[in-house]
């Protein structure tokens, strides 16, 4: 059976998820995570992709991004290939660290966009890794703008 085609168009928002092959870790060290974020930043510039939120867990990652051109598959392939090559060299491994193709879900409205950002950032909290989101350094949560509420004075 042929793979289902991805829907790609300009200025589209996507929730991206990718898991480790056979439920294994895709990040073994802080160096792996730093490298992934570096490659992600390069992908963002190279393919005109805006990154709005991310979280890196041991065996998967989530991204909230916006493509300025209809190039999601090409940009994610570039990210996965670059990361795999460096991950395998550093960890003396071979093969694919990722389980199949990345999953992509189109974000169709602002309400879902806000809920998705919360869902992505709350992953370490749900996993019991931290008690406060601000303490997890492999998430974009710490970089989110903080708006003072009218109720807080």
The encoded tokens of residue 133 equal 């989101």
How far apart CA 45 and CA 24 sit, in angstroms, is: 29
The pLDDT-based confidence of 1 (bands split at 50, 70, 90) is low
> Over the chain, what is the mean pLDDT?
90
| Residue whose C-alpha is closest to residue 120's, from 135, 106, 101, 133 | 133
pLDDT of 12 > 50? The answer is yes
Per DSSP (E only), the strands in 5-150 are 12-19, 49-56, 60-67, 103-107
Antiparallel, parallel or unpaired: β 12-19 and 103-107: antiparallel
The encoded tokens of residue 11 equal 């200025």
Q: Where are the domains of the chain?
A: 12-152
Could you say which DSSP state residue 151 is in?
Answer: G
The encoded tokens of residue 111 equal 């309400």
Per-residue pLDDT tens for 93-144? 898 999 988 999 999 998 899 899 999 999 999 999 999 988 999 999 988 7
The pLDDT-based confidence of 86 (bands split at 50, 70, 90) is very high
How far apart CA 77 and CA 55 sit, in angstroms, is: 19
Enumerate long-range contacts of 50-53, CB under 8 Å, 24 or more apart. Answer: 51/140, 52/13, 52/117, 52/140, 53/116, 53/117, 53/120, 53/121, 53/140, 53/141, 53/144
| Residue whose C-alpha is closest to residue 65's, from 120, 27, 136 | 120
The encoded tokens of residue 56 equal 């890196």
Whether domain 12-152 has CATH 3.40.1360.10: the reply is no
Query: Higher confidence at residue 83 or residue 23?
Result: 83
Per-residue pLDDT tens for 136-150? 999 999 887 654 443
Q: What are phi and psi of 60, to 5 degrees?
A: -165, 170
């Amino acid at each position: 059976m042929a793979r289902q085609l991805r829907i790609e168009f300009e200025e589209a928002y996507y929730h991206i998820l990718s898991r480790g092959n056979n439920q294994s870790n895709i990040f073994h060290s802080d160096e792996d995570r730093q490298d992934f974020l570096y490659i992600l930043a390069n992908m963002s510039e190279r393919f005109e992709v805006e990154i709005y939120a991310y979280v890196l867990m041991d065996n998967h990652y989530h991204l909230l991004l916006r493509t300025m051109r209809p190039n999601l598959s090409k940009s994610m392939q570039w990210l996965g290939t670059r990361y795999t090559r460096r991950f395998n060299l550093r960890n003396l491994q071979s093969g694919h660290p990722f389980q199949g193709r990345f999953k992509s879900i189109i974000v169709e409205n602002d309400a879902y966009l806000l809920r998705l950002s919360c869902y992505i950032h709350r992953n370490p909290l749900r996993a019991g890794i931290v008690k406060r989101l601000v303490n997890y350094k492999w998430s974009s949560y710490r970089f989110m703008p903080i708006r003072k509420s009218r109720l807080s004075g």
